[in-house]
Structure 1
């Protein structure tokens, strides 16, 4: 109730003061004439208006007072009206501010929704491209062909060929060293092999050097190791070629392997490097690297889950020993998912592979 009275009161006062002010103006105008008419018959010796001098002063004072009162009432009315208008303007401004704030909030919400929609579309586009690339790579792997081998068997054969090339280099160096420095021990070795079941050298005439050299060069030390032939020379070869494998010989072997298998595996390797580049250059992996997070490692997990153990090893050797792929060796470290998946049982050069892979994983001797 009181709130309604407060709202109506200024309006009432405006009207009251306005009416009073307006009424006082004609009253002030008429007041001199009314007083003259009243006192005209009551003042002695009144002939002209000048005889009303004292009365005039009174009338003047009265008129001014009325006009002043009228001015005050009208001024009050104006002040109240202005206050009312100011309040109305203030309310309009407050309403405008509220509307502006609401508009800003709506714009911010719209911006956030647009950003979310944009991020969703980007991720959907990224995932569509990624899964298409993985599918294409899987199809390319199934289509691999070399001689009579298909698919993953080509990968297995490639690893065996790489290992064979390394053996050929290591065996050649080892055998040349013995033939040059200790020929007599080679003769004794050839003579002793039939007792270990190696019968292909049984017919060798050890008195003829050409036969000894030919038989020795044809010997496959891997077969002797497999058959557990007890010989100092076999143990020395095993130590030379495998226990302390030579990385420079591995480099030579891979170079020969790369030349021979380029036509077979080039599209396969190109497919892998394209996918790794795509992931590494994506804003999602870059964001993880900047923030130290692993929110997007699922894509690499999906990719590597498509690889067979033999494929994993072949990709490692491709990154490690191909001179143009040092970048790939580093990119495969991301999220530490690739190198820990390499199975030790498939290491072709156990001591060297173990050392290099542990370094890539970040394992030290103290760990």
Structure 2
């Protein structure tokens, strides 16, 4: 770029020098002539005005070319400025995302710490025995299983046909388990959960707050943070959360968040009476996910 400018300057300065030399030589030559020949020379020299006009036009072209080069340089500088502004904006967005993520993680891990503290402090009396901490969920789950089986046994023995055949409940337990409905489960769960109701309310409220924190955030890897929360659950906690989920209204905040983030996907089905309950739950969860994704797709298409 600079080399090309020097060419223009060289041509321009060379043209000026050339015109100056021509004028000087003509002037020197004219003054040396006598008066009769000076007039004739003047007429002849007037024809050389075309040369000077051409040189002047060359100067104008050179000026335009130089101005064009300057404008091109300015455009390049503007492009560089725009690129720098874009990089600065990207850097600012990255810093902003990092700051938002740090703020979220600070709150999230504080909530996880609160969850651990609350879980360690839960206490209650189950079947006449005091229990606390995560052991409460094991004891409460065991208590529920006994109550479920007692209910099914009483129902089995109340049928006259079973009495006539001297049917034994425990020899038919697998078949009876499949007859145990979700409505029966949730009714018994609701009644029996009253023995530790206050503790469970605090426990499930904490889980709901953490799930809502993740759900309301703008972070990308939401399921990563959900997996951190789930890693703190024992298998008995997951079973109790499953029972609580079944007992909730499908449109409740707790139920929707549990479904959305697949909190009970890792449930050990050996811990529940009727495995069909989990199968039915997963089918409904799949349909809810499908409907939610369809709504999101339609909203994006309309916008």
Q: Which residue of 2 aligns with 1:34?
A: 35
- The answer as to whether partners of 2:147 and 2:188 remain within 8 angstroms in 1 is yes
Q: Which residue of 2 aligns with 1:116?
A: 94
Cα drift, residue 274 of structure 1: 1.3
Q: How many residues of Structure 1 are paired with residues of Structure 2 in the alignment?
A: 279
Distance 1:104 1:237 in 2: 78
Q: Which residue of 2 aligns with 1:11?
A: 13
Cα drift, residue 134 of structure 1: 1.0
Distance 2:216 2:45 in 1: 90
Q: C-alpha offsets along residues 215-255 of structure 1, whole Å, 9 cap, x if unaligned?
A: xxxxxxxxxxxxxxxx5143587367524212221121123
SS at structure 2 position matched to 1:284: coil
Distance 1:325 1:146 in 2: 30
Structure 2 residue corresponding to 1:255, chosen from 159, 166, 190: 190
Q: Which residue of 2 aligns with 1:303?
A: 229
Cα drift, residue 142 of structure 1: 0.3
Distance 1:113 1:149 in 2: 53
Structure 1 runs not aligned, ≥5 long: 39-57, 190-230, 286-294, 363-367
Distance 1:361 1:65 in 2: 104
Structure 2 residue corresponding to 1:317, chosen from 243, 250, 253: 243
SS at structure 2 position matched to 1:306: coil
- The answer as to whether partners of 2:115 and 2:206 remain within 8 angstroms in 1 is yes
Map residues 185-264 of structure 1 onto 2, 5 A cutoff.
185=163, 231-235=166-170, 238=173, 241-264=176-199
Cα 1:113–1:351, aligned 2, differ >3 Å: closer, same or farther?
Answer: closer
Cα drift, residue 326 of structure 1: 5.3
Distance 1:173 1:303 in 2: 39
Distance 1:16 1:63 in 2: 20
Q: Which residue of 1 aligns with 2:292?
A: none
Distance 1:282 1:83 in 2: 63
Q: Does 1:150 align with 2:132?
A: yes
Cα drift, residue 136 of structure 1: 0.8
Cα 1:322–1:334, aligned 2, differ >3 Å: closer, same or farther?
Answer: closer
Cα drift, residue 18 of structure 1: 4.7
Distance 1:82 1:14 in 2: 13
Structure of larger gyration radius = 1
Q: C-alpha offsets along residues 113-156 of structure 1, whole Å, 9 cap, x if unaligned?
A: 11211111122222222111111101100010113211112222
Q: Which residue of 1 aligns with 2:266?
A: 341
- TM superposition outliers: structure 1 runs of 4+ over 6 Å: 2-6, 22-28
Structure 2 runs not aligned, ≥5 long: 287-303
Distance 1:73 1:354 in 2: 100
Deviates more, 1:324-333 or 1:312-321: 324-333
TM-score normalised to the size of structure 1? 0.63
Q: Does 1:160 align with 2:142?
A: yes
Q: How well do the aligned residues superpose, as a CA RMSD in angstroms?
A: 3.8
Map residues 36-185 of structure 1 onto 2, 5 A cutoff.
63-69=42-48, 71-147=49-125, 148-167=130-149, 169-171=151-153, 173-175=155-157, 177-178=158-159, 185=163
Cα 1:134–1:360, aligned 2, differ >3 Å: closer, same or farther?
Answer: farther
SS at structure 1 position matched to 2:180: coil
Cα 1:5–1:282, aligned 2, differ >3 Å: closer, same or farther?
Answer: closer
Q: Which residue of 2 aligns with 1:282?
A: 217
